[in-house]
Structure 1
Amino acid sequence: MTQSNNDAQNPSNEFTGTQSYIATDDLQLAVNAAITLQKPLLIKGEPGTGKTLLAEEVAQSLGMPLITWHIKSTTKAEQGLYEYDAVSRLRDSQLGDDKVYDINNYIKPGKLWEAFTSDERSVLLIDEIDKADIEFPNDLLHELDKMSFYVYETGETITADKRPVVIITSNNEKELPDAFLRRCFFHYIDFPDEQTMRQIVDVHFPGIQEKLVNDALDIFYKLRNLQGLKKPPSTSELVDWLTLLLADDMAQQELEENLRGEKSIPPLYGALLKNEADITLLQRFANMMRR
């Protein structure tokens, strides 16, 4: 008997991380628990901790197509199901276009429809759900629970033959409704400790000099621990900073001078700190340390 594409990619059908994504044991457990329970996996964590990337890596690991629905402040729940273009149909009827007799010509399937009718079991990412209106999660309760919805214009019910793996991310900008939370398996991605961060750096920069990593991480974690920062630097910003350091020998020298106390602030700090208040705080702190 031949293996399916999914089985060939991952015979155990369990997520264990990938070569390009370091997943902690707790995160692996959460992904696999949500798959077993057939519940949406709700992922929270600081920006830059790999929430969105997780869905891409789960899809790759399990050999499934990825369907992504990026949520904005104006996004409505029904857009994930389908949209009916009544205006175009009215215009076409006025022009005498024969396609008005088939209402399907004016129905645009949404991301849930796409995931429910996919030929293969898919991973559905609902990204940054907390950006939408507070009622948005409640408006999807039935659809995500029963994996089906009714199309009023055609009288058909769209049901998932192959239940997708649903991953939902949130940056905690607003509280999500209790009824929605009850239907999810929840996991908070903790910020990586230094050992995990070294693994992440190794993935992005194979063969990087250990001294450069040691120096960079020393400054990076000191910055993150600086009291009063509005936005502590994230993993993605560390990766950007290391990319710049590797491209500039002078910056590496300045990095060493900063650690020895000869320079007040680290080189290329604009890759790490993203607002003027944090930069001012860093400069003030550096001046105090030099006195």
Structure 2
Amino acid sequence: MPRTTDRFDGASTYIATDDLKIAVNAAIALERPLLIKGEPGTGKTVLAFELAEALGAPLITWHIKSTTKAHQGLYDYDAVSRLRDSQLGEARVHDVRNYLKPGKLWEAFTAPVRPVLLIDEIDKADIEFPNDLLQELDRMEFFVQETDETIKAQVRPIVIITSNNEKELPDAFLRRCFFHYIRFPDAETMQSIVEVHFPGIKPRLVASALKTFYEIRDTPGLKKKPSTSELLDWLKLLLVDDIDPETLRERSPNKLIPPLHGALLKNEQDVHLFERLAFLNRREGARPGG
């Protein structure tokens, strides 16, 4: 049975640190949007799904693109269809509501029970996008000009907003949010995350994989550090191909690039970086007395 409490204590399939749980519960108590930042792949979006599951609440997702406008979260008015129907003599043209398409905020404000509203990757939109939603998120209401009515939330939704920090958000918007930055997991937390996704996985394989993974992340000059989700993809491939932990532990000059590295290294610059390091290692190893 899903829980009906409005307190988040984590989930069996999502490793939430104590400070993240505190942030979630603080935002719920304050009835403020929770703004989550962090590296891509650290579980910002998944948090909303797990929170909804843990609270037994419906989840409403609004994935933001570069072309998304704030008014689309409220509603869209299809004036073109109404004009066409009027020319065809359609009876439905007399009710403007037939041409209103509710957006995600409308859906959240009119939900029969308190939902979790995810506004995902808000920093992808135009810089004015957050400011255009200030009043609606603050007052939890908006006016529909076409029907001369106000859509008001009877119960304030729990709002989760994610950002990859691609652009700065306006101060006025930040003042209305409770903020939390998800730090990249340390090795101990990462091991717990791995065990959730791969129950019963061999400890030696995990230890070797994590050592290699963090060494890659710490490599100077790396353009894109591999994320948690990419580590999980890599581990899945290692299991499918039955890679031996000893293979990962090898540090010979020819084995600097780990097996199935395409799951971890996502651009040619980083692959070339490791190839150069392998070349330099081979050259060092070939020197007399080396």
Fold-level similarity (TM above 0.5): yes
RMSD, aligned CA:
1.3
The residue type paired with residue 170 of structure 1 is S
Q: Mark the CA change 1:250 to 1:206 in structure 2 (over 3 Å): closer, same or farther.
A: closer
Structure 1 residue runs of 5 or longer lacking an equivalent are: 1-7
Q: How many residues align?
A: 283
Q: Residue 161 of structure 2: SS of its match in structure 1?
A: strand
User: What's the counterpart of residue 215 of structure 1?
Assistant: 208
Is residue 278 of structure 2 the alignment partner of residue 276 of structure 1? no
Which shows bigger deviation, 243-252 or 172-181? 243-252
User: What's the counterpart of residue 141 of structure 1?
Assistant: 134
Query: 1:249 and 1:157 mapped to 2: Cα distance?
Result: 60
Is residue 224 of structure 2 the alignment partner of residue 231 of structure 1? yes
Q: Residue 282 of structure 1: SS of its match in structure 2?
A: helix
Q: Residue 9 of structure 1: SS of its match in structure 2?
A: coil
For 1:87-106, list aligned pairs within 5 A: 87-106=80-99
**Structure 1 vs Structure 2: percent identity of aligned residues?**
69
For 1:247-266, list aligned pairs within 5 A: 247-250=240-243, 252=245, 254-257=247-250, 259=251, 263-266=255-258
Q: How far is 1:265 from its partner?
A: 1.5
User: What's the counterpart of residue 36 of structure 1?
Assistant: 29
Query: 2:279 and 2:37 mapped to 1: Cα distance?
Result: 36
Query: 1:115 and 1:46 mapped to 2: Cα distance?
Result: 28
Contact 2:34 2:179 in 1 (8 A): yes
The residue type paired with residue 50 of structure 1 is G
Query: 1:95 and 1:140 mapped to 2: Cα distance?
Result: 37
User: What's the counterpart of residue 11 of structure 2?
Assistant: 18
TM-score (norm 2): 0.95
Q: Residue 111 of structure 2: SS of its match in structure 1?
A: coil
Structure 2 residue runs of 5 or longer lacking an equivalent are: 285-290
Q: How far is 1:198 from its partner?
A: 0.3
User: What's the counterpart of residue 128 of structure 1?
Assistant: 121
User: What's the counterpart of residue 5 of structure 1?
Assistant: none
Q: Residue 129 of structure 2: SS of its match in structure 1?
A: coil
User: What's the counterpart of residue 60 of structure 1?
Assistant: 53
Q: Residue 249 of structure 1: SS of its match in structure 2?
A: coil
The residue type paired with residue 276 of structure 2 is R
User: What's the counterpart of residue 287 of structure 2?
Assistant: none
Query: 2:111 and 2:87 mapped to 1: Cα distance?
Result: 35
User: What's the counterpart of residue 181 of structure 2?
Assistant: 188
Contact 1:64 1:123 in 2 (8 A): yes
TM-score (norm 1): 0.94
Contact 2:123 2:163 in 1 (8 A): yes
Q: Deviations over 1:155-197 (max 9, x none)?
A: 0000000110000000000000000000000000000000000
Q: How far is 1:282 from its partner?
A: 1.4
Contact 1:231 1:278 in 2 (8 A): yes
User: What's the counterpart of residue 288 of structure 2?
Assistant: none
Q: Residue 137 of structure 1: SS of its match in structure 2?
A: helix
